[in-house]
Each structure stands twice: as structure tokens, then as C-alpha cells.
Structure 1
Amino acid sequence: MTVLVFPGVRLLDVTGPIEVFATADEFGGRYRVRLVSPDGADVVTAAGTGLSVDLPAAQVSYDSDVVVVPGGPEWPSLIKDDALLDAVRALDARSRRTVSICTGAFLLAAAGLLDGRRATTHWRFADQLALRYPTVTVEPDALFVRDGHVMTSAGVSSGIDLSLALVEEHLGAETARTVARDMVVFMQRPGGQSQFSVRTRTPYVRQEALRQVLDAVAGNPSANHTVAAMARRAGVSSRHITRLFHDELGTTPARYVEEIRQEAAQALLELGDDPMATVARRTGFGSPESLRRAFVRNLGITPGAYRARFRTTVSRDAADAGSHPPEAT
């Protein structure tokens, strides 16, 4: 595996994939990681950490199973760096699989490697990628996209998702699951970049009574959270609590409760094998049918299909993934 680094590269874009492949080596992998830079000089990352480089990109004389192109916060200037883009093209020519992490997609696009392909990048920059490179079909909500021999990933942690998918290609799903368990990460997070935690994307609310209600829902999704129960908890009328949800959160009490319960159900499905009746009861849905309706309505898949997706890194839109030999350079 060859990782292209440069001054100002984002540290986790580099170390995340490396850690996945290093962990895979503990379970039968034979990855050899080399860091290269356009001129062979050591680099300082955006975080201020120095990275020791093995050789200049131009001196790479071996074929790589994987070439990783990370991103960096100064990507607008990086896409104008001819030496860096030349290095991207040269490494791609010697690789079986070229992948980008986060804003590294801009480097692939600027080098012409994404022309006519589907791709993704961090959600904050997806519109800019589509605007700058109209020949690229940008999928802003994807965690990673596989098109031919090129793979692109979203935010920095999605580089881990992508790397696990590559381990599955090389060593099989069971080894990838073992690596994921060892690193305490998911095999694949079904759904896209927009599926952040309900609580983390909930805006700050000014009303103390509403904050107490929200904490109670998140703390025990299976409890009684009817409008009347929430109103009693807040010490206000049902009409007033409904108005607070609308004014402060832009949603209804029932919708918010369902989102919290669904998130709790997703966590149980991702991490365990409890019967659907147990999952439904523990998360407040009451019955497997209510659980199923919520998943189909909000995610477009059944709870069983959701759980199954955590048995492999392969997503529905990544069916073109090929297999590669387990030894990677």
C-alpha cells in the first residue's frame, strides 16, 4: 500500500487507513505500507505532526495494490500544485486500486481520474466538487463510492470504512469483521453522511423545560413519551409542548421520539442479535411491525436488512467490487 503525503495533509486521512491495514496484518494480511511525497521530503501535517517519507513518488518502481490519496484543509491550493497532481497520476498508473480520503477527491478530480465517474467527498465540500468538476457525478450522502478501480470516501472517519471494504476485498468478510471488532468500529455504517446522531444535530434549545424533556427521551427511549406525558414532565400544557417542539426544533413531539427510538434500535441491530420483538420492546416501538414500519418509512429498508448490512462492508451501490490477492504492496 502506498500513501501519498504532502505538506498540510490531514493526519487522520493518513493514519486511519494505515491503522486498518496494520490491524489486518495481525489477522493474516501482508500489507506493506510506504509513504511517498512528490519530492521525497518529509512532511508536516495540518495538525503539526511530522511524517517520515520513504521515497519520492517518481521513484516508485513497484505496482501497488492500493494507492491512498488523502486530503487536507488547503485543498483549493493543492489542486493547483502540478507536481502533486503529477504524482497522483503516476501512482495511479501503477496501482490496482486508487482511493481518496475526504478532500483527497479534489486531487483525483484535478488529476483527471474522476472524469465520467461517480464519487463522493466530505458533505461540506460536495457541492464545490460538483461545481468545479461537472464531469464527475457527485454522491454527497455516500460514505464511500466505488467506480471501477477508483474509490472515494467522505469525511476523515469514512476512510476507515473504505479501508475495511478493501480488507474485505483482499482477505474476506470474516477477516474484515475481525479487524472492525478489534478496532471497535462498525463494518459499515448503512446510510449516508446525513445520518448523524439525532442529539448531535439537535439545535440548542432555550427552554429549560424542553431540554429536560429531550434528555428524558434520549435517556430512556422505551418509556412513555406521549405528548401528554411530555407535557406533564415539563409542567406545561400539551398544546404548549407541541408549540415548543415546533418553534425550537422545527418538528413534532411524535417525530422526535420516533427518531430517538429508531436511533436506539439501529444501535441494537448493529451490535447484537436480539430478536426483533426484543429490539422493538427495548426501544419503545412495542412490536416488530411498528419497528418495521418506522425503518421502511425513514430508511427505506427493513430492520432485518439493516442488520444484515453490518455483516459486510459491501453496500448496495458497490456491487462492482472485484477481488484482489491478499498480498498488497
Structure 2
Amino acid sequence: PIPHFLRIPPIPAVVSSLNHESVPSPLTSLLDFRRPEGQMASTASRFVPSFTRPAEKVIRQFIRELGSVDRLFVMTGAGISTESGIPDYRSAGVGQYARTNHRPVTHQEFMGSQHTRQRFWARNFLAWPRFRDAQPNETHRTIAKWERSDRFHWLVTQNVDGLHTKAGSNRLTELHGCGHRVKCMECDYTMSREDLQSLLSSLNPLWTSMESPGELNPDGDVTIEEGAEKTFKLADCPSCDGVLKTDVVFFGDNVPRSDVDLCYEKASVEESDGVLVLGSSLSVMSGYRFVHHASLRNLPIFIVNIGPTRADHLATHRIHCIASMIVPRI
């Protein structure tokens, strides 16, 4: 029988800011500003936290100061993909941690338990069509266009959704990997996530007729009823029969050293003269360390994020809003 799945309703978000104008942002296609202050935005923007638009003079000053940077190092986080329908973990009210009790699988749990892998891939299988079909938004597209300028140096993203690549970015490090790739943990064989979907579909024909339940999670899966995964068959590595895993750095794992060294190099004063952080709380050390590294070298730090970040004390310029309110104007 087809399992019954849980649907998790969104919870309203409340995020406020000081010294800002309470006026609508230009995101009229995504946010419904007719709602009373503090209430949830429209369904299309349910993963974007509520915020108050900064004063126009604040926006202009931020952009003007950023214009003094000749070699820009950019770091993006989950906050830039919420407008593409992919939630983040930590946003007040609308992030996954605020809406659900679900926590992502750790690397140790995945590698140590056949049942954990079975549940992970069952959830990922159902979510894949929506995760795959997510499209870049204006922020992704604008950053890709920046590559035509000599003033753009390098992009590091903490996201695993592949939207920067879809938008056309090439000078890019995917710090935490990409959910569009799959890797064998034994022999390093790699394949596309889409090819694995075909393989899993052939092994699980009944699952192919199921609709994806509930909300998409930041890690590219959905929540299913406990025990539903017992009927799901796993695929082994086509090369060595080893364990297949998305090419993503799970919680509890480490970013490849080669990527870490490259990012330190790109964020150095020898290569960059300014850092722009977009849509990231910088809560995890994997991203925060590069901002800290740049700060120690007296590079100006520009941060655009609705909520607080771990690096706010390092910021030379800070603005509380969604990235798409700033990026297209740079």
C-alpha cells in the first residue's frame, strides 16, 4: 500500500528592524504587503521572513560604499534561494528549525546505518523533481552577470541547490557540494542525481506514482511518515556496489581541504579588496572563517541579511533586508 505522508503547515514569521522605513519593497510579485505588519507573506513567499524595508538613503549609502571595491569576493547562503521556493534552516518563523522538529541527517548517521540511508533516499527521491526544477531568481542571475566585470573576483556559496550554476556562474566554489551530483563513498565514482533518480525509479515502481508530500526541506528532501521508507529499495554504486551519497557536505563532515585553501586564497588581501555576504547567518564555521580571515586583513565586510549574523561585529557595512532588494542595483 502507498504510505500516508505528513504535511507540515507553514508558521507565520515576525522579524523587525530599527531605523527603517515601513514601506513596501519592490518584490511585489513575491510579497503581499497588503497584509498587516508581522503577518505571513503570500504562499509564494512563505520561506521569506518578514522584514521592514531599509530607508532609501540607507540602501544608496550601502551601494555607494560597495562601489569602492575593485575586486569583490562574494559569499552567499540559503537566504538568497528562499525566493526560489527553497527554505533555509534558521530564519525566524519560516526556517525549517522554526517550522518543524526535523533536523538534517549527519554524516555519521548516514554512513553508520542502512536504515538511515534508506529513509534519506526515500525522502530525497520524492523531493527530487521539485528540487531539480527550482529556478534561479534575480539575485542568482545578477551575480552571474557580474562575472563580465573585472571588479568581480570570486563567488563562494554555502548552498547545495545548484542555482548559481543554473544562472550561469562559473567563477564559483560550491563550499558544501551540490545536490545535483551523487558520489560513491567507496570508489569516488560520480553520477548525476537525475541518473540516480532513473535507477531508483526502476527499483521502486510504486514510489514513482506518489506525489511529493509537504514542504521541501533545505537539504533537498521532504518529511515522510515514520516507517514509510521500509518498502524503499536502495541503489548501490554501479562501479563497486558501494554506498551512494549526494555530493554534499553533511553536518558532521568536513569541507574538502582543497576547497578551503582555495577560498582562503580568494578572500586574501592579495586577491580581493572587499567581501559581500548575501543571505547567510554565517552560523557554521565553514563559511564564517573566510569572513573572519578577510576581517583580520582589514578588508571591508558588507553584509546583506534579514536576520542577525555571526559576523555582524566584523561588518563595516550592514543592511537588514532581502538580497534581491540590493543586488540588482549594484
Q: Which has the larger radius of gyration?
A: 1
The structure with more helix, counted as a fraction of residues: 1
TM-score (norm 2): 0.27
